[in-house]
Structures are given as C-alpha cells and as structure tokens.
A and B are shown apart, each in its own frame.
Chain A
C-alpha cells in the first residue's frame, strides 16, 4: 500500500516567558501520511521547520502520560490522535487548559505532582502486618476488580483540562487525585480510608465536584474519575452524620 503525501496546517500556541507578554499562534504546513499522529506532526515541525517549538512527549504509546494537549479545543494525548481525522481542516494545538503555561505547549504540572497527588496519600496503608517471608496478601480477582480500573490512571492530566471546577477553583483536588484516592480506599488490602477522607470529605475533595462528567469522557484509559468521585458523595454524607453518632466518626 503506497502512502499518498498531503499537507495539513498545524497551528500551535506559542509562549516564551523570556520574550512574550502573552501567547500567540503560529501555523506550520506539515506533510503527513495516513498513520501519522499529531505528536509525529509536532516532531516533524521541531526536527525540520522550527526547533524552538516545545512540547512534552516520551513513550509514543499512550502509557507515560506526557503528551497531553488541547487539540481543536478537546483534551487529547497527541501520540494517539491522528492528523487524518482533522484533514483538510486545520489542527489547532494548545497546552492543556486550567494549568499555567510554562513554554509553548508545556504546562506547569507542579500543582498536581507536588500538591494534589501526595495530599491524597496514594500508597497502601496495609490492614495487617506481614513479613516478606510470609508472602503476598491474598486478593481474589473479584476483590481486585473492585479497584483495578481506577489504578490505570497514567496521570496525563486530561481530566484536569476537562474539569471546569478545577479551572474555576484550583484548590479542588481534581478528578485523577480523587480517583486514585478511591483506588486505594477500595483495595481490600488497605485500611487508610479514614485518613484519606479528611481531605476527601471536604470542599476540596468530593464536594468540589458538580458532576459535569467531562473528565470521564476524555480519559484515555477508561478510569472514570467522575464515578470515583460521585459514588463517594453518599459515603461522605454517611461519614458526616455518623460523626455525630459515634465518638470517632464514620470509618
């Protein structure tokens, strides 16, 4: 099968804090083949046309989470979004919404990596003590099924770009963080729910969500953060009332 070579216009947001007051756009004409991804289009621009175009990427196979950007206004991973689906129209690429722009298509991810993620205590707080010699905690496939798809988050931040609540209120823990919190709470080996729900039950936790639901639409891994957050609203309410009934609150 021979590939015909056509040209598509890729318009990129540019921003250089050393020289720019505000972002502007620059369009490049990129020859492309049917199986070229948006990332490969960006790489062509950087390699052949303009080495200053800056964007993050690594694995090229939608598992590392580096290459998130807004493609025609929709949060996407550029490595598995294909130019053929936009041709002959223009492809506009911007950095992920709701994050400060560092340079061109690269956002400042530190709010998620340094604040949101560690705050929800994303590690197993084990129910029982077991030495290594005693082997693994037992967990049936059914028990694993309860949390497994929430563990598939690649931290690509598309859900944060999709969430207007995070955009309007950056204190909100956000979809990925709360989904990961739920992943650990729902793990049969874990006993840390009470610790995590200090944050989870607050306005920055589940109550910051108004069920827009766009996060689950854009998630490339089917993590369904909207489900993780909203099923915890019932539990959160129960926690709240149990607080008055029992000395140590709901557990």
Chain B
C-alpha cells in the first residue's frame, strides 16, 4: 500500500472542498493539503447548480431579512447562530469569487445583478446566467491552480477514515486508474463529499452523489443529523430528473396544471395576482411547491407524459430575448431532452429529489464530534437549512463554510502532532483487505438490482408525503436490502484498472446506510415540518415535542438509533410560515 504524508486531507473537489483547500493555504502556507476527489474537480456536482448564490446587497435588503427568510424557510429548525454567521459572510465570499474572476451577471452600470428566488423577501440571489454553479466551480478550480501547496489526487476514491487515539489520523483511498490502495496520513480531514440524492429514483443529481462521506462518518459513530429532510425540487424534467432552475420562476415563470390553471393559489400561496410578488405563488418555498404538485396529482389535474405526471412551467410570456439571455442552459436542456422550446411552449416538469438538508453533524465552526474531522457543504449539517432549504443558500454555504472548514482544520492541525504508527498502518491494511474483498467474490446479486430496489423503496415509502405504514415498510425493506448486500455483490469486473463496477458496489454500501438513516429518522419524527410531511395522525407541526434535531447513530447489526438534540434559537421564535397573501407587485431586475 502506498503512503502519502500530508497535513490536511480534503475529500471532495467541489465548491466546498476547493474553497476549503484554498483557505488552508491562505491561512497557513506551510501546511500541505491533499485534495482527494473521485472525479476530476470540474466534474463535481457543484457544476450542475444553476440558479445562484444569495447575498445581501440591495439597500432595501438587510441581514435580518435574509436571516428571517432562511429561518422561516427552514420551518424554525435552523440553528440560528449558524444562520447569523452565514448571512453575515455571504457577500464577502461572493465578492472574493468575483475578484477571482467569476462572471457574475451584471447590471448596466457594472455592478453585480441580483434576482428573486423562492422564499426570499428581496432580490438577493447573485447569478451567472443560469449556470452559477458551473461558473463558481470553474473559477474555484482554476484559482486553486495558483496554490502549489494544494496537491491534487484526481480520481482517488476515498473509502474510509482512520481513527486512532480518538482522533482522525488519515484516510484510505483507491486510485481509480490503477486500483491501488493509498493511505494518506494527516492531522485533519475535511469531508466535502456532497449529498445523497441518488438514494431516490427520480433525482436531479449526478451519478456521483452517493453519500460517501456521510456513510463513512456514520460508520465511525458520527451522527447524521436531520436526515428526514430531503428536498424535492419542484421543477425537474420527467424521467431524467434533469434540473430546471428555480431561476425560471425568479424571472417570472408560472406553473399551470393540465387545465392551464395556476394551481398554487389553492395551497396557501395565492392570490395569483399581482404577479410576481415576493414569497407568493411560484416564488414560494420548494417544499410547498412540491407538496402542491402531489395534491394536484392526487386530484388528477396533472398532465401525463411518458415518464409520469407533470405540470407546465410556462415561460412564454418572458419573451425570447429574456429567456435566451437569462436562461440559456435550461432552454438547451429543454430542447434536447424533451423537445420543447420554452419560447414557444411550456416545459413539462415534476418534482425530483434534489438536496439533502441534513448530513454529518457539525457546529458552526464545521467541527464534527470526531476530533480532526470537519465537514462542509451538502454533506454537512451545520444548521442553516433546517427543515427546508431556500434556493441559492446552498452555493453560498459552500463558500462560507468551505472557508471556515479550511481555516478551522489548519488551526486544529497545528495543535496535534503529525506521525505514523503501527496501529494506523494495520487499520489501513484491514480496510484495504475489506475493499479488495469485493473483487472475485463469485456470488451475490448485481449492484444494479439492489440499487434499483433501494431507490424504488425510498421513492414510495419516504416520498413527498409520508405515512407510518409506508415508512415502516421502507425501513423493513431497507433492512432486507442491507442483509442481501452484506451477503455479497457479484461483480462482472474482477480487474483492478479503472473498475467502476467495484466503485459502484462500495458506493452502494454507503448509500444503503444513508437510506436507513433517512427512513428511520423520518419514521420517528412524529410531526410534519418543512420537507417532512405526514398524511397520518402527525400532519401538524409540533413545536412542543419536535422543535429538535434528529440524530441517527449507526448500529452494526440493526436499524440506526434515533436520538434528538435541541435547536439553537436566538432571535426568531417559531411562528406560522406565511407565504402568498396580499402584497404589491415586485419589480424584476
């Protein structure tokens, strides 16, 4: 096994990982950083984010407004100290990106432009056409090339952590090109491994979003927090789940059912006019919009497509000029994948799994309970999203907390000695044996079969609306799938060189663990809040008993055990989430 000695390992080369690696170098140029990613960094899923990144710049906006929009958007499950820190630091991070070359879209006078997004009271979403994530990721990746202390290990698949003497000492990874195992010895590890959307059948996510870091941390006793809160993005293409950005609605797009009726007015988001109006109708929060779709589907008012039911996302009234200028990528996607030109016809859309609000428990310094392990980005639960994330808070999160993680890991690394040891090597050997054991097993089921059953189970049992019976059944099915997985997964590919079937078998293990955490957390939360909505007796929000975060703990033999921890409330006491209502027409920029 090859050994690499370094100071800090960052697992994940997306927005949060790159930002963290740069932050380590900027705060302490002496420290060596190894950036390990299972794909070359510009392939990371940050690249697919479209809509934008939030930051308060307008004079009619304030940090308090952003704070309140986020906390109420999260149905009061946010840790308000984290949100406070977050909203205070968004703008400086986005200005930093701009100084690094990010092509934010501009107003005529040269200042950065901002647009409306769901659940936001004032325009504060910075955007780079409708490819904001693409531009942010490429800016970060290209900027990272300026820092020679960042040593990149592209296409290295991290499979486990090494913990010794109660703290993190390294990671083990497979060099995908050769199938060789590598031990990285270090003083601190930052996980920036992304979400777990591939747990569900229809999702907007890339194939790589399999919850690897969550799965690894989980197995080392780090709890996964608030996993029941999985966000269904209301507008994705039927079948593929390809994302059609919320920015379409931020620019004035509307949603109609098969009768051409703007159905959101029936679900507490109306009245429909004047439009657009902040936090109303199509500018409401994602959980409400996805839930409205579900109801329309039950009532038979949705369109039928080859890949299930859908509603219309109508952009025609925006005009060709605005559509081509502000929404070029989704125009391309719509034409390519469903043969619809949004200038002349509405785009068929339906909800698809999109984002993991929960994740690896960490504080607002991105420290997890495991000393030496930090978490940033979608894989973490730093407490800013609560029960439902507002669009454009996630890209900002990567930057704000990516930096915090980098600086925090650098500080921590200075306090602990580096060094190798026999127990560490032994652990690495045993991990290596375990992962090599997948090859040449000769028995078991196909990866795709177990994976397909898992995603279908989750979609049916832990979907937009949940019931105890469906969730229980999902939990039982998942336990069975885990058992079948443990009996063995048979690979057609027994080679070491670039064996992606082997990778997917290991990923499936992580995804199954995360799926169990989601299903059990959902079953145990006996209330409805944000993105977790129940149709059984627990269909109301219950602040008395459930104004708490759920914590899922891995148990080797059975279901995850679910415990709870308090939510940090400072300025904003839980109230009713109000959207829609009267209001004046917003001026779109």
Contacts and interface: CB of A to CB of B under 8 A. Distances in A.
**A–B direct contact (CB < 8 Å):** yes
Contact of B108 (A109, A132, A136, A140): A140
A17 B495 CA distance: 10
Interface stretch (B38-46, B222-230, B386-394, B576-584): B38-46
B112 A64 contact: no
B389 to A, nearest CB: 20
B450 to A, nearest CB: 11
A109 B99 CA distance: 29
Contacts, number: 163
A170 interface: no
Given A18-B497, A123-B143, A66 B43 contact: yes
A52 interface: yes
A54 B500 contact: yes
B109 A138 contact: yes
Interface stretch (B72-80, B236-244, B276-284): B236-244
Nearest to A49: B492
A243 to B, nearest CB: 27
Interface string B396-435: 0000000000000000000000000000000000000000
A102 B134 CA distance: 27
B243 A61 contact: yes
A106 B498 contact: yes
Contacts of B524: none
B42 A64 contact: yes
B101 interface: yes
B499 A113 contact: no
A140 B261 CA distance: 40
Contacts of B110: 138-140, 143
B588 interface: no
Contacts of A102: 177, 497-498
Interface stretch (A159-167, A182-190, A207-215): A182-190
A16 B145 contact: no
Interface string B106-142: 1111111000000000000000000100110010001
Contacts of B106: 139-141, 144
B48 interface: yes
A62 interface: yes
Contact of B145 (A65, A118, A139): A118
Nearest to A58: B206
A63 B447 contact: no
Contacts of B336: 62, 80
B96 interface: yes
A65 B44 CA distance: 10
Nearest to A119: B145
Interface string A35-60: 10000000000111011101101111
A60 B207 contact: yes
A51 B143 contact: no
Interface string A1-42: 111000000000000111100000000000001010000000
Nearest to A190: B101
B276 to A, nearest CB: 23
Contacts of A104: 498
A189 B101 contact: yes
A232 interface: no
A51 B95 contact: no
A55 B492 CA distance: 15
Nearest to A184: B101
Contacts of B40: 109, 113
A125 B202 CA distance: 42
B206 A132 contact: no
Nearest to A140: B110
B357 to A, nearest CB: 21
A147 B101 CA distance: 11
Contacts of A63: 47-48, 131, 134, 329
A103 B101 contact: no
Contacts of A137: 98-99
Given A118-B145, A139-B106, 15 more contacts: A33-B306, A35-B306, A35-B337, A47-B446, A51-B492, A51-B501, A54-B493, A58-B39, A60-B207, A62-B336, A108-B177, A123-B142, A124-B100, A136-B98, A152-B131
29 contacts: A1-B306, A33-B306, A35-B239, A35-B338, A48-B446, A51-B446, A54-B499, A60-B240, A61-B243, A62-B333, A64-B39, A66-B39, A66-B43, A103-B495, A104-B498, A106-B498, A108-B177, A123-B101, A124-B99, A126-B99, A132-B95, A132-B99, A135-B95, A136-B98, A138-B110, A139-B110, A141-B106, A180-B142, A189-B101
Interface of A: 1-3, 16-19, 33, 35, 46-48, 50-52, 54-55, 57-66, 80, 102-104, 106, 108-109, 113, 117-118, 121-124, 126, 130, 132-133, 135-141, 143-144, 147-148, 151-152, 154-155, 180, 184, 187, 189-190
User: Which 8 A-B pairs give the minimum distances between C-beta atoms?
Assistant: A138-B110, A51-B492, A124-B101, A47-B448, A52-B493, A103-B498, A58-B206, A51-B501
